[in-house]
Chain A
C-alpha cells in the first residue's frame, strides 16, 4: 500500500491516531499529528511512499503537536516530539510541515550511526551515484531538483547515507526542499512537478518541498556505487565551468560535511577514503541549469563504478 492508495481523509485519520507507518529508505517512522497542514503535506508530497496501518516495529516514533499554552490562541506554534520528548523549541504553526521534514532529518542524523551520514544531495544514473555536498546558498537543492526532473534518480536531497561495510550509497528519498527563488525556478522549468505549500519567514527564508519522482521511491531499497563527488556553486552570470578537484581536498570537504565523523572515527575515515578513491571529483560553477544538467549528463563513468 502507498500513501496515495488512501483518501486524504484516510491519511488524516491515521495520522490523528498515530497509526501511520511511513517507509523512507531503510527507515519506518510512526507519525502522529492532528495538524492539518502536515496531514495534507504528507498526503501530497509522500503520495508514492509505502505505508502500513500497523507495523510491529518503527525506527522513529514522532509526533507534531501544538503546545498547550496560551500562545495557542494568538500566536499558534508547533512542537516536534521524538517518542514524547521535544528536542527543539517550538516554531510558528505555519512552518509545521518544514518542521516535520527537519525533525525527520534529525531522527536519522542522531540515531543512524550504523551509517556514515553527510550533509549532501545524492543522485544516480546507471547505478552510479553523484554526491553533492555544498553549503546553503550554493544551489545544491535546485540542481538536485533539476537533475531528478531530468531522469536522474533521487537518493536524497539532504542526507547522503553511506554504508560503512560497502561504502555504497543507501537511498533515503524524501521530498526535495526548495528555498526562495528556486521554488519559482523549478516551478517554471517543470510545470508538472508537484510542489507543496510554501512556508514563509523560516530561518531559511521561504521553504517549499517538491514530490520526488515515482521511480526514485520504487527503487528506494536499491543502493548505488559512488562515482562522482561534485561541489556545485551557483553564480549569477557565470559561464559554465567544470573543473577537476583534488582528491585530498575533496576528502577534507566530505569530512567537514559529515554529521557523525567524530562518532565513527577511523571507520568513517576509511569509508570516505573508499568513496574518494572510487570517485571522480569536480567543482561546478554555473548560472544556467540547462547547461549544468547537460554537462553532468555527459560525465564519463569512472572505472570503479563501470
Chain B
C-alpha cells in the first residue's frame, strides 16, 4: 500500500514544495506532471508568481517550454472562440462552451496553463444540423469515419463526430447533451441551456452555470471509461469549487442541482477524492448529504479500490500492482454505464473483430 501521495499531488496542494526539491526529485516531478498533463499548469503558475528564475537551470528549460505551449494554446483557443461565434451567429445560435474552452472563455482559474486538444460546445439537439452546416460553411468538416462509426455517433452518442477545420486543423466537438443518449442517467440538456450565462458583454458567448459546470466535469470524470487525465480533471474540479464557493449559497445550489440532474453519485465520488487527495475545502454538511448517494457494501468497497488506482498518475513511479487491471475494469464500466448490454455487446464485439480500419 502506498502511504505517501505522489509527488505531483503533494505539489498541487502546496506549490512551495517545489523549492525544496533536489535535482533528482525535480526529475521525477517533471515526468509525473508531464504524464498527468499538469506540467503546463505548474509552469504557468510559477511564471505568474515571478518565480521561474528560482528553479535550477536544467528544470527551467522544461518549464519555459511548457509556458510557451500554454501561451500558444491560449492564443489559439481565444481566436477559435471568436470564429465559432461568427459561424453560429449566421444561424442565430449563441455558443455555449464546455470544459477547457469554457474555462478560457470565462477566464476562470481552472484555465491557467490547462492543455486540451478540442473545443467542446453545447447546442440544442433540435438545432444540431443547422449548427453543423454553419460550421461546415466556415471550414469545419467531419473527419472521415466509416459508416458504422458515423451511425454509432449519431444514434447513440451525445455528440456528433468531431469536426476539424480544413486549414487551422482545430477540432470542435459539438454536443447536444453532457452524457450519451443511451445512459440510464438523463441530465436534461434543456435545463443546462436555460441556466447558461454570458461570460462578458457579449450575450452570444456563454458557459454553463457554476453548479452545472462542476457537475459536467464530475460526470465526465466518474462516468467515462478513460482515466489518463483523471488527476488533471480533479485539479480542474478543485479549482472550480474553490472559485465558485465564495458565491453565497453555492454549495446548497450544487447539491440541489446534482439531485435534479441525476448526477449526485458522480458528485459524491468527486467530493470524496477532492477531500482525500487535494484537501479541497468542502463543507461537512454537503458531504453528509452526499453520503446518501454512496454505494454501499461490497460495491462501495470495490469502487473505492478501483478509483484509488484510476485517479493516480499513469506513470511507472506511481502505478501499483493492480493499476492495469483497475483501469481495464473501469474502461468496461464506462462502456457499461454508457449503453445497455443489448447494444454494448454487439458494439464491443464489432470493435474487437472488425478492428479499426485506420489501425488495422
Contacts and interface: CB of A to CB of B under 8 A. Distances in A.
Interface residues of B, number: 24
Contacts of A265: 71-72, 75
B24 A26 contact: no
Interface in B62-118: 62, 64-66, 68-69, 71-72, 75
B20 interface: no
A264 B64 CA distance: 11
Interface in B3-39: 22-24, 26-27, 31, 34-35
B26 A26 contact: no
Contact of A111 (B24, B62, B75): B62
B72 A61 contact: no
Interface in A13-48: 26, 28
A263 B68 contact: yes
Interface in B226-252: none
B60 to A, nearest CB: 8
B315 interface: yes
Interface string A102-114: 0000000001111
A184 B295 CA distance: 71
A53 interface: no
A83 B72 contact: no
Given A84-B315, A263-B69, A265-B72, A113 B64 contact: yes
Nearest to A89: B359
Nearest to A84: B316
Interface string A268-306: 000000000000000000000000000000000000000
B324 to A, nearest CB: 13
Contact of B68 (A26, A28, A57, A113): A113
Interface in A39-77: 56-59, 61
A262 B22 contact: no
A56 B22 contact: yes
Nearest to B56: A57
B31 A83 contact: yes
A264 B69 CA distance: 8
Interface string A78-96: 0000011100000000000
Contacts of A85: 35
A59 B35 CA distance: 14
B58 interface: yes
B61 interface: yes
Complex A-B, nearest 6 residue pairs according to Cβ-Cβ distance, in ascending order? A56-B23, A113-B68, A113-B65, A56-B24, A57-B23, A114-B64
Interface of A: 26, 28, 56-59, 61, 83-85, 111-114, 260, 262-265
5 contacts: A113-B66, A114-B64, A263-B68, A264-B68, A265-B75
